[in-house]
Amino acid sequence: MYHIPVMLKETLEGLAIKPDGIYVDVTYGGGGHSREILKQLGSEGRLIGFDQDEDALKNTVEDNRFMLIHQNFKYMKNFLRLYKAIPVDGILADLGISSHQIDEQDRGFSIRYDDTELDLRMDRKKSLSAKYVLNTYTGEQLRDVFSQFGELHNAARLAHLITESRREKEISTVNQFKTAVNSCAPRGKENQFFARLFQALRIEVNDELEVLKELLRQSNEILKPGGRLVVIAYHSLEDRLVKNFMRAGNFEGTPEKDFYGNVQQPLRQISRKPAEPSDAEIEVNSRSRSAKLRIAEKL
């Protein structure tokens, strides 16, 4: 299985699909969500998918209502304008990395494969990799990456250990990285610790938070009134940005007012609390455990 679609029922309900609507799946992956959206579209409906990972192209659906664009979703508005698909009725973003990416040893997304070269690029045409970050960033830059994107309290110590280790030998593999910083891992919580380290590197390599901000801004511009935005986030940094934007139209979460004191709110949250996977879903798909799904409607 390439990737089991997370919270599929909740996603489809959140999109409130109209048979003749235009929908966008900005994280196509294995196409699990997209295939189900197509089942609910009529002959006049359209679905446009985005994915920067070339492996996703192998999963494309042969359907004249569907188009898959091999690009980062930060270019969503440009391509939708090109294909005369604005405004849209719904946008879906499942921000998690796919099971396929985790399981592919040469991608370097998993801490399980010690001999794998450090990579973590979603788009393998990019030059910036985890290996490059670890071997060329200054100690201060590394500290900031681990502090901001991994929310690790010992970020300065981590940065020091990495800069010391790479003086002896370039840090190229997962095992070399883990060995360099192993003394910082809390006893009994090593896996959670390394997962946060890899999260921080992945966010830096792929500029994930800035790309997410761009997606949210563009979503507000291209949704029809009444159109739905559905976002599935997997860690607090992503979820905070999504929650604040849906609530206030900005990333600080503070409602802005016009000259007359009226709150400027471009979106309406369908539910104040995010949906989370059921115990039954987590049992079938453990990687859904941390997912939070939020829905907003364009006012």
- Residue 117: DSSP 8-state: B
Judged against a pLDDT cut of 80, whether residue 202 lies above it is answered with yes
3-18 confidence digits (pLDDT tens): 689 999 999 999 999 9
Average of per-residue pLDDT values in the chain: 93
Residue 212 near residue 240 (C-beta atoms within 8 A): no
- Where exactly are the structural domains of the chain? 8-99+208-298, 110-206
Q: Does domain 8-99+208-298 have CATH number 3.40.50.2000?
A: no
**For 93-171, where are the alpha helices, taking DSSP H only?**
99-103, 130-136, 139-150, 155-168
More confident residue, 113 or 246: 246
- Tell me how crowded residue 52 is: count the other CB atoms within 10 A of its CB: 22
- Residue 100's pLDDT is 47
175-185 confidence digits (pLDDT tens): 999 999 999 99
Q: Of 242, 226, 246, 247, nearest to 299 (Cα)?
A: 226
143-162 confidence digits (pLDDT tens): 999 999 999 999 999 999 99
- Tell me how crowded residue 290 is: count the other CB atoms within 10 A of its CB: 14
Judged against a pLDDT cut of 50, whether residue 120 lies above it is answered with yes
Question: Residue 281 corresponds to which tokens in the numbers above?
Answer: 């879903």
Q: Is 252 helix (H, G, I), strand (E, B) or coil?
A: coil
Judged against a pLDDT cut of 50, whether residue 102 lies above it is answered with no
Give me the CATH topology for the region 110-206: DNA polymerase; domain 1 (1.10.150)
Give the integer Cα–Cα distance in Å for 205 and 128.
6
- Residue 124's pLDDT is 86
pLDDT band at residue 255, thresholds of 50, 70 and 90? confident
Residue 269 near residue 242 (C-beta atoms within 8 A): no
Q: What is the pairing mode between strands 22-25 and 292-298?
A: unpaired
Can you name the residues that pair with 117 across neighbouring β-strands? 173
pLDDT band at residue 1, thresholds of 50, 70 and 90? very low
Give the integer Cα–Cα distance in Å for 278 and 170.
44
Q: How far is CA 188 from each of CA 135, 183, 191, 228, 264, rounded to the nearest angstrom?
A: 28, 12, 8, 42, 48
